[in-house]
Amino acid sequence: MPPEAAREEIEELRREIRRHDFLYHAEGRPEISDGAYDLLFDRLKALEAAHPELITPDSPTQRVGAEPRDDLPTVRHTAPMLSLDSTQSPEEVTRFDARVRKAVEGDQVEYVLEPKLDGVSIELVYLEGRLDRAVTRGNGWEGEGVTENVRTIPSVPLRLFEDGAWIPELLAVRGEVLMTLSAFEGLNQSLLEEGAEPYANPRNATSGAIRQLDSAITARRPLECLAYDILEIQGASFRRDTERIDALKGWGFRIPERIEVARMVEEIFAYHAAFHRERDELDYEIDGVVVKLNDLDQRTDLGSTSRHPRWALAYKFEPRKEVTRIERIAVQVGRTGVLTPVALLRPVEVGGVTVSRATLHNREELERKDVREGDRVRVQRAGDVIPQVVEVVPEPDRDRPLPFRMPERCPNCDAPVAVSGPYTLCPNRFGCPAQLKGRVVHFASRNGLDIEGLGSETAGLLVERGLVAEPADLFELSVEDLLPLPGFAVRSAENLVAAIEQRRSTELRRFLFGLGIPEVGVAVARDLALHFRTLDALMAASREDLQVVPGIGPKMAERIEEFLGDSQTAGAIDRLVGRMFELSVPEAEGKGGALEGQRFVFTGTLESMSRSRAKRLVESVGARVTSAVSGETDLVVAGEGAGAKLRKAQELGVDVLDEEGFLALLAQAEVEL
């Protein structure tokens, strides 16, 4: 075939295929059969194989093809990707509406209403109509470049449609990548079959798929992309958001379903209620609805705070609750000897996640909620937070068993328990296997000695077989000791022994954290190490000496002194020190961390990271994290669903940051995410 003819046919095929991709993936109304589509696609592939010089990156055949990468590059956004102010309360929505009306001074107010998609936010940049790059939201200013991965998503146009709409020189679109619930279940099923860990929810699965280093893996994950905003466009003159939505559609993007326009606040409530009712019938996760001013000039007038626009609001749903039955109440014994009642549930899906255990906290909580074995209960999961039992669902006709009583003896070592306030404790500190195991795990944990390969399971085995009764025993373990344990072979036994050996020298702060001193987390351990410099100096410190360390109050000092003064503890520490070489305090470290001495409280759920990760990050630059808001708190970070602590902070006039602001602060403090 002459090259000119090939070129023409290739272009024609690409146009056809793009149109069918759009009809299938964005519109859900295919016009041709899969077989007919395959014929077009195969023909295009054959022609391109014969004329490789005609292959372009925006050809439908080129969605997969990039080499695996070593890492994801950091890429700046065309315009900042703000987040939305959010609320669950109708009163807040009314107040938002009133503020907007006041600001536009009697002009018509028109809102665009959309579902709030619970996926991963992404920026897609098109130059001259071709997909140039795709960037995750990251901290709002810059994110990870995931272009090759996003190219594999069938509903992302590689090239904008030209028919009707003109092609802007630059177009930056914001959208949400997500996985349908049915696709998510299918993926988890096959992960389980391969013996791999399933994902906790569709959002995590999406986030994992988007961040793959090998785009061939992303291509096998069933992702979709829905576009809902234009971040930047050159040469545009839109007046309304609805016009932009039409343009996005014209360029070939898939847009959210059931976008509506409203003039009255009541319509917002009706829209929210309707989506809430139908939430469970949708094949994708939404966590609320988004209300946006339609008129773009009015948007400009209202402007944005540093974190979110004043012209939009996310009106979220209450956390999902489901009803299930408690099969049994079990009691767990932790490292510190606290007995925690745990409801073992008939497994139930709560918003895409199977829940089979929920904490019942302590004796008082148990009594307050009057939760008993066999009860029907409502369980709640907000974001990635540990599931909780909210309340008992009354069943008047059922004979309930007697109230659950916390055991009088430790379920693990049979020692008679002690009661302290709402807590039940096993006092057998040095004989209870559950506590021993907990201590060994804590000692070896990431912020402790960071011993690779020593997790909960191995620690359990070591304690059970009588090989380890306290952390010091770890340093006596030999390969021969480990070999008979299930799961160990020569190689793994040698590795563990070597990993332990390596930690005979460590930093004092790790050692102190690893001891599991009450109240001593990462930050306090580091402060103690910096202040006292040697273990001997700390052991000799009085309560008053301890209080000299900033952030250590009388109560904390008392508990630390008590712990270190205990003769059995002191013996265990002696034995440890006898087997270790060095406990060091690096000179350069600690002083002058960017958030040195700042007291943080986290509340609500953060979208971009878990609470514990957020805590680690700020502590790494010297901040201290406490759980209660007080006059001494410097900063409260309020994620989604924040309640009482946020109100308290506002009452006390403590500074509050939302997630966006928090990420900005981390960026400023040069914390690596």
Least distance in angstroms from the C-beta of 383 to ligand IVH: 13
Least distance in angstroms from the C-beta of 86 to ligand IVH: 7
Cβ contact 432:415 at 8 Å: yes
Segment near ligand IVH (CB under 6 A), from 10-18, 109-117, 466-474, 540-548? 109-117
Please state, in angstroms and as integers, the Cα–Cα distance from residue 12 to each residue in 8, 17, 47, following that order. Answer: 6, 9, 12
Nearest to 45 by CA among 60, 63, 33, 58: 60
Segment near ligand IVH (CB under 6 A), from 95-103, 183-191, 308-316, 470-478? 308-316
User: Is 555 designated active site?
Assistant: no
Q: Does 640 bind ligand IVH (CB under 6 A)?
A: no
Q: Does 114 bind ligand IVH (CB under 6 A)?
A: yes
Residue in 83, 147, 152, 506 binding ligand IVH, rule: CB under 6 A: 83
Q: How far is CA 670 from the centre of its chain?
A: 21
Angle of CA points 368, 371, 373, to nearest 5°: 155
Q: Does 176 bind ligand IVH (CB under 6 A)?
A: yes
Nearest to 274 by CA among 330, 317, 320: 317
Least distance in angstroms from the C-beta of 114 to ligand IVH: 4
Q: Does 121 bind ligand IVH (CB under 6 A)?
A: yes
Least distance in angstroms from the C-beta of 408 to ligand IVH: 50
Least distance in angstroms from the C-beta of 90 to ligand IVH: 19
Per-residue tokens: 464: 């059970």
Nearest CB to ligand IVH, comparing residues 82 and 293: 82
Nearest CB to ligand IVH, comparing residues 154 and 288: 288
Least distance in angstroms from the C-beta of 304 to ligand IVH: 8
Nearest CB to ligand IVH, comparing residues 201 and 324: 201
Nearest CB to ligand IVH, comparing residues 203 and 616: 203
Segment near ligand IVH (CB under 6 A), from 114-122, 261-269, 320-328, 505-513? 114-122
Segment near ligand IVH (CB under 6 A), from 115-123, 246-254, 488-496, 545-553? 115-123
Q: Does 157 bind ligand IVH (CB under 6 A)?
A: no
Residue in 312, 343, 508, 523 binding ligand IVH, rule: CB under 6 A: 312
Judged on CB neighbours under 10 Å (0-12, 13-18, 19+), 468 is buried
Nearest CB to ligand IVH, comparing residues 207 and 340: 207
Report the C-alpha gap between 658 and 116 in whole angstroms.
Answer: 18
Q: Does 117 bind ligand IVH (CB under 6 A)?
A: yes
> What is the maximum span of the chain, computed from C-alpha positions, in angstroms?
92
Q: Does 228 bind ligand IVH (CB under 6 A)?
A: yes
Per-residue tokens: 336: 């510190």
Phi, psi angle pair for 489, to nearest 5°: -130, 175
Segment near ligand IVH (CB under 6 A), from 110-118, 246-254, 333-341, 536-544? 110-118
Q: Does 663 bind ligand IVH (CB under 6 A)?
A: no
Nearest CB to ligand IVH, comparing residues 315 and 404: 315
Q: Does 173 bind ligand IVH (CB under 6 A)?
A: no
Q: Where are the alpha helices (DSSP H) in 382-521?
A: 433-444, 456-464, 479-482, 490-502, 508-515
Per-residue tokens: 150: 């996003």
User: Residue 5: which residues within 8 A CB-CB, separation 6 or more?
Assistant: none
Report the C-alpha gap between 215 and 345 in whole angstroms.
Answer: 39
* N- to C-terminal Cα separation, the chain: 54
List the beta bridge partners of residue 424.
419
How do 624-626 and 599-603 pair as beta strands? parallel
List the beta bridge partners of residue 120.
177
Q: Does 290 bind ligand IVH (CB under 6 A)?
A: yes
Nearest CB to ligand IVH, comparing residues 116 and 221: 116
Least distance in angstroms from the C-beta of 137 to ligand IVH: 6
Q: Does 84 bind ligand IVH (CB under 6 A)?
A: yes
Report the C-alpha gap between 456 and 20 in whole angstroms.
Answer: 52
Segment near ligand IVH (CB under 6 A), from 307-315, 381-389, 444-452, 465-473? 307-315
Residue in 222, 250, 309, 453 binding ligand IVH, rule: CB under 6 A: 309
Q: Does 256 bind ligand IVH (CB under 6 A)?
A: yes
Nearest CB to ligand IVH, comparing residues 182 and 305: 305
How do 286-293 and 339-350 pair as beta strands? unpaired
Segment near ligand IVH (CB under 6 A), from 80-88, 200-208, 390-398, 498-506? 80-88
Q: Does 82 bind ligand IVH (CB under 6 A)?
A: yes
Catalytic choice (45, 102, 116, 249): 116
Nearest to 661 by CA among 304, 276, 232, 221: 304
Report the C-alpha gap between 93 and 100 in whole angstroms.
Answer: 11
Nearest CB to ligand IVH, comparing residues 48 and 176: 176
Report which residue type is found at 334.
Answer: G
Nearest CB to ligand IVH, comparing residues 159 and 307: 307
Q: Does 116 bind ligand IVH (CB under 6 A)?
A: yes
How do 635-638 and 599-603 pair as beta strands? parallel
Please state, in angstroms and as integers, the Cα–Cα distance from residue 76 to each residue in 292, 374, 523, 655, following that order. Answer: 25, 54, 32, 28
Residue in 144, 224, 229, 507 binding ligand IVH, rule: CB under 6 A: 229
How do 312-316 and 86-87 pair as beta strands? parallel
Q: Does 658 bind ligand IVH (CB under 6 A)?
A: no
Least distance in angstroms from the C-beta of 660 to ligand IVH: 8
Segment near ligand IVH (CB under 6 A), from 81-89, 214-222, 319-327, 510-518? 81-89
Cβ contact 417:408 at 8 Å: yes
Report the length, in residues, of the chain. Answer: 673
Least distance in angstroms from the C-beta of 514 to ligand IVH: 38
360-382 burial, b for 16+ CB within 10 Å, e for fewer? bbbbeebeebebbbebebebbbb
Judged on CB neighbours under 10 Å (0-12, 13-18, 19+), 527 is buried
Report the C-alpha gap between 562 and 167 in whole angstroms.
Answer: 72
Q: Does 314 bind ligand IVH (CB under 6 A)?
A: yes
Kindly state the number of chain residues that form the binding site for ligand IVH, as judged by CB under 6 A.
15
Per-residue tokens: 211: 């961040």
Report the C-alpha gap between 189 and 365 in whole angstroms.
Answer: 37
Tell me the catalytic residues. 116
Footprint of ligand IVH (CB under 6 A):
82-84, 114, 116-117, 121, 176, 228-229, 256, 290, 309, 312, 314
